[in-house]
C-alpha cells in the first residue's frame, strides 16, 4: 500500500507534515509506504531533523506550492508541478493508493474532480466528516462543506454513498441513515428536506431511520447523517469547537477529547474514483499521523469501488 501526502500543504507545513509522517511511519505496518510530495531538499532536511532512517517513506519532488488563499482552478492550471498537482498525478496513474493533504481544500476538491473524476452516476461528490458519539463510536456526516445548496435527489445519494462508506470502512452492517432536520416528524423542515425525506424513506438501498435534530448529533441515533454542505459545515465546526472551549475551561473527558479535530485527522471526499483525504489547514503532527491511519483503513475497505458498483 502506498499513501501520498502533500508535504507542503497546511499552515504549519512542511514541519508539522513531515513530523506527523515520521510518527505514522514508525507505527504503520511494513507493507505501507508513505510518499511525501514536495520540495525534496526541504523534506530531506526535515527527515534528518526528526531522525527518520527507516524505509517506509519515499520522496517525490514537486517544485511549486499552491497557497491556502489561491483560487483552486487557476492555481491547479498555473502550477501543474505543485505538490497537490503532482500528488493527483500519482493517484490518477495508480502509483499511489491514496492522496492526503492539509493544503488548499478547494484545490483538493477541484483536483479530485479533474484528475480521478467523479464516479459515474454521482451527481456531486461530497466531503464526509466523522462525528463522535457518546457510545464511543463515530457517525459519518455527509456533506460537510462541498455542496452548500442541494436538491432532494442529492441528499438521497449522500445517504446511499454514505451508507456504503460506513459499511465497508467501519464494518457496520446495515448502517442507520438519518436526515438532519428541525424536527423528528416526517412533515418538518424546508421543502427540500420534506422531499428528501420521502426519497430516503422509499429507498431500498439504505436503512433509513427518519429525521434527527441537532440535539441528537452525538447521541448515537444514526451511523450516517445526511445534510447539505452548508448545514453540515456549521454543525461539524460547532462540534469541533467543543474541545477548544472545554480546554479553555479546564475540562476534559474521553468524549470531549474525540471532538478534537486531531482525533481522526481528516475528511474523505466520497463519490470520486479514488481515495482522497483532506485535513485541517491547522493540522498538527498528531492530526497528520491519525489522518494516515484513516487513509490506510479507507484503502483497505475499497469503499469507492463498492460505491461505483452500487451505482453502475
Pair (129, 195) in one structural domain:
yes
Is 126 in contact with 157 (CB distance < 8 Å)? Answer: no
CB proximity list for 110: less than 8 A, separation 6 or greater: 72, 73, 76
pLDDT (tens digit, 0 to 9) for every residue of the chain, 312 residues total? Answer: 999 999 999 999 999 999 999 999 999 999 999 999 999 999 999 999 999 988 999 999 999 999 999 999 999 999 999 999 999 999 999 999 999 999 999 999 999 999 999 999 999 999 999 999 999 899 999 999 999 999 999 999 999 999 999 999 989 999 999 999 999 999 999 999 999 999 999 999 999 999 999 999 999 999 999 999 999 999 999 999 999 999 999 998 899 999 999 999 999 999 999 999 999 999 999 999 999 999 999 999 999 999 999 988
With the C-alpha atoms ordered 231, 152, 280, 249, is the resulting torsion angle positive or negative? Answer: positive
Pair (2, 83) in one structural domain:
yes
Report the alpha-carbon distance of residue 273 to residue 304 in Å, rounded. Answer: 6
Pair (9, 86) in one structural domain:
yes
Pair (255, 130) in one structural domain:
yes
The range of the structural domain enclosing residue 127 comes to 123-262
Q: Is residue 145 part of a domain?
A: yes
Cell of 115: 484528475
Residue 99: give its domain's CATH number. 3.40.718.10
| The residue count for the chain | 312
Q: Is residue 312 part of a domain?
A: no
Provide the pairing of β-strand 138-142 with 126-132: antiparallel
Instruction: Tell me the β-bridge partners of 131.
Output: 139
pLDDT at position 252 is 86
Burial tier of 245 (Cβ tally within 10 Å: 0-12, 13-18, 19+): exposed
Distances (CA, A) of 183 to 178, 189, 213, 215: 12, 7, 6, 10
Q: Is residue 36 part of a domain?
A: yes
Pair (88, 183) in one structural domain:
no
Pair (57, 103) in one structural domain:
yes
Pair (132, 216) in one structural domain:
yes
Q: Is residue 67 part of a domain?
A: yes
Q: Is residue 310 part of a domain?
A: no
Is 84 in contact with 263 (CB distance < 8 Å)? Answer: no
Pair (165, 239) in one structural domain:
yes
Pair (40, 127) in one structural domain:
no
pLDDT at position 311 is 86
Give how far the C-alpha of residue 31 lies from the chain's centroid of Cα atoms, to the nearest Å. Answer: 23
Pair (255, 171) in one structural domain:
yes
Q: Is residue 60 part of a domain?
A: yes
Which strands form 33-38's sheet, in the order they lie side by side? 57-61, 33-38, 2-6, 98-101, 275-278, 267-270, 126-132, 138-142, 224-226, 176-180, 207-212
Pair (84, 157) in one structural domain:
no
Domain count, the chain: 2
Query: CA geometry: angle at 112 spanning 74 and 262, to 5°?
Result: 105
Write phi, then psi, for 84 (nearest 5 degrees): -70, -45
Write phi, then psi, for 238 (nearest 5 degrees): -65, -45
Pair (203, 294) in one structural domain:
no
Cell of 209: 431511520
Cβ atoms within 10 Å, residue 186:
13
Q: Is residue 307 part of a domain?
A: no
Is 270 in contact with 116 (CB distance < 8 Å)? Answer: no
Q: Is residue 308 part of a domain?
A: no
Q: Can you spell out the DSSP letters for 95-112?
A: SSSEEEESS-HHHHHHHH
Amino acid at each position: 500500500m502506498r499513501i501520498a501526502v502533500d508535504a507542503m500543504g497546511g499552515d504549519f507545513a512542511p514541519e508539522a507534515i513531515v513530523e506527523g509522517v515520521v510518527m505514522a511511519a514508525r507505527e504503520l505496518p511494513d507493507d505501507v509506504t508513505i510518499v511525501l510530495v514536495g520540495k525534496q531538499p526541504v523534506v530531506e532536511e526535515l527527515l534528518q531533523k526528526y531522525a527518520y532512517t527507516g524505509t517506509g517513506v519515499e520522496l517525490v519532488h514537486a517544485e511549486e506550492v499552491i497557497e491556502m488563499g489561491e483560487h483552486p482552478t487557476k492555481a491547479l492550471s498555473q502550477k501543474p508541478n505543485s505538490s497537490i498537482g503532482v500528488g493527483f498525478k500519482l493517484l490518477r496513474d495508480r502509483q499511489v493508493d491514496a492522496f492526503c493533504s492539509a493544503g488548499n481544500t478547494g484545490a483538493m476538491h477541484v483536483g479530485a474532480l479533474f484528475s480521478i473524476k467523479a464516479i459515474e452516476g454521482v451527481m456531486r461528490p461530497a466531503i464526509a466528516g466523522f462525528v463522535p458519539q457518546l457510545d464511543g463510536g463515530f457517525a459519518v456526516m455527509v456533506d460537510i462543506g462541498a455542496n452548500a445548496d442541494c436538491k432532494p435527489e442529492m441528499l438521497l445519494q449522500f445517504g446511499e454513498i454514505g451508507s456504503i462508506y460506513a459499511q465497508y470502512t467501519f464494518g457496520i452492517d446495515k448502517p442507520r441513515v438519518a436526515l438532519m432536520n428541525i424536527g423528528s416528524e416526517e412533515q418538518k423542515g424546508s421543502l427540500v428536506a420534506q422531499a428528501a425525506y420521502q426519497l430516503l424513506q422509499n429507498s431500498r438501498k439504505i436503512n433509513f431511520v427518519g429525521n434527527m435534530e441537532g440535539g441528537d448529533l452525538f447521541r448515537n441515533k444514526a451511523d450516517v447523517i445526511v445534510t447539505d454542505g452548508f448545514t453540515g459545515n456549521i454543525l461539524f465546526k460547532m462540534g469541533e469547537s467543543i474541545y477548544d472551549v472545554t480546554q479553555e475551561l479546564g475540562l476534559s473527558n474521553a468524549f470531549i477529547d474525540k471532538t478534537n479535530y486531531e482525533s481522526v485527522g481528516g475528511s474523505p471526499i466520497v463519490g470520486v474514483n479514488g481515495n482522497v483525504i483532506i485535513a485541517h489547514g491547522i493540522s498538527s503532527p498528531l492530526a497528520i499521523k491519525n489522518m494516515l491511519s484513516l487513509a490506510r483503513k479507507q484503502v483497505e475497505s475499497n469503499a469507492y469501488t463498492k460505491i461505483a458498483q452500487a451505482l453502475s
